[in-house]
């Protein structure tokens, strides 16, 4: 991918996102919409994967049929909200390898601190797609990508549902080599770090917590 930021303006994505933004959308509907939208976003983020051909036999003749080249891709979810995107994408790419990164914000330094890290092997040979619905300050996303690069990943894409300009700028400064795919670029972050207009706390909305 050559663009640093891709906004998926497909009508289905935009319609579903608008439903997700509405404050009175139920947990059940929010989860279902996130699953549906994640399939459409996965379609976009996996564009330009290297292809090869394999010789197959149809009922009529032999042909060189296109197939995806290389090792299975890796999906890495940033806990906990990343899991909402992950579940849908796994329906489309059931062979993907899956990793998880847990980060919390140190109350003193406000910097992300890792509490869980488990990722597939041979990341240097895999397209690695990091998933987190909300790219807000970009601090945890940049930290997650740092950790993945240390673990050997060298072909990383970042997939989110909503991005704030602050988060996009942070990622571009820290990781200009990591393309971002999102359904929308919102206006700004408020004083509490929420994306405006946004959709609230994605984790709370998908899991029904407060
Ligand atoms: N995380 C969320 O869940 N929502 C925001 O608006 C920002 C970060």
ipTM of the complex: 0.95
pLDDT at 128: 97
Does 51 show up as a binding residue in the annotation?
Answer: no
Q: What is the DSSP string of the chain?
A: ---SEEE---HHHHHHHHHHHSTT--HHHHHHHHHHHHHHHHHHHTTT--EEEEEEE-SS-EEEEEEE-SSPPEEEEETTTHHHHHHHHHHH-TT-EEEEEEEEE-TTT--EEEEEEE--S-GGGS-EEEE-SEESSSHHHHHHHHHHHHTT--SEEEE-SEE-HHHHHHHHHH-TTS-EEESEE-SEE-TTS-EESS-S-HHHHHHT--
Q: Give the pLDDT confidence score for residue 35 in this predicted structure.
A: 96
Q: Whose CA is nearest to atom 7 of ligand 1?
A: 194
Residues 182, 135: Cα–Cα separation, whole Å: 9
Q: Phi and psi at residue 10, in whole multiples of 5°?
A: -60, 135
Q: Is the CB of 195 under 6 A from ligand 1?
A: yes
Say which residues have a Cβ less than 8 Å from residue 35's Cβ, sequence separation at least 6: 84, 87, 88, 91
How does pLDDT run across 43-92, given as a tens digit for each residue? 999 998 999 999 999 999 999 999 999 888 999 999 999 999 999 999 99
Check pLDDT > 80 for residue 110: no
The catalytic position among 87, 125, 146, 201 is 201
Residue 202 assigned ligand-binding role: yes
Pocket lining: 202 vs ligand 1, CB cutoff 6 Å? yes
Query: What pLDDT was estimated at residue 105?
Result: 81
Q: Is residue 105 annotated as part of the catalytic site, yes or no?
A: yes
Q: Is the pTM of this model over 0.80?
A: yes
Q: Residue 137 pLDDT > 80, yes or no?
A: yes
Residue nearest to atom 5 of ligand 1 (CA): 194
Could you tell me the domains of the chain?
Answer: 5-49+67-207 (3.40.50.2020)
Mutate to test the pocket of ligand 1, among 78, 135, 136, 168 (most ligand atoms within 8 A of CB): 136
């Amino acid at each position: 991918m050559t663009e640093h930021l891709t906004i998926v303006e497909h009508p289905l994505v935009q319609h579903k996102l608008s439903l997700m933004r509405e404050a009175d959308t139920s947990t059940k509907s929010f989860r279902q919409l996130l699953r549906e939208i994640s399939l459409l976003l996965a379609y976009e983020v996996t564009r330009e994967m290297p292809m090869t051909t394999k010789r197959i036999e149809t009922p009529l003749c032999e042909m060189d049929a296109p197939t995806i080249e290389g090792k299975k891709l890796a999906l890495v979810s940033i806990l906990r909200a990343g899991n909402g995107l992950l579940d849908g994408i796994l329906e489309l790419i059931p062979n993907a390898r899956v990793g998880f990164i847990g980060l919390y914000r140190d109350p003193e330094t406000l910097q992300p601190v890792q509490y869980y890290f488990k990722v597939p092997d041979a990341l240097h040979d895999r397209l690695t797609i990091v998933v987190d619905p909300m790219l807000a300050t970009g601090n945890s996303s940049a930290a997650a990508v740092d950790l993945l690069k240390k673990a050997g990943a060298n072909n990383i894409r970042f997939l989110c549902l909503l991005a704030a300009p602050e988060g996009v700028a942070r990622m571009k400064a820290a990781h200009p080599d990591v393309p971002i795919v999102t359904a929308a670029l919102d206006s700004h972050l408020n004083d509490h770090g929420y994306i405006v207009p946004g959709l609230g706390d994605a984790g709370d909305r998908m899991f029904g917590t407060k």
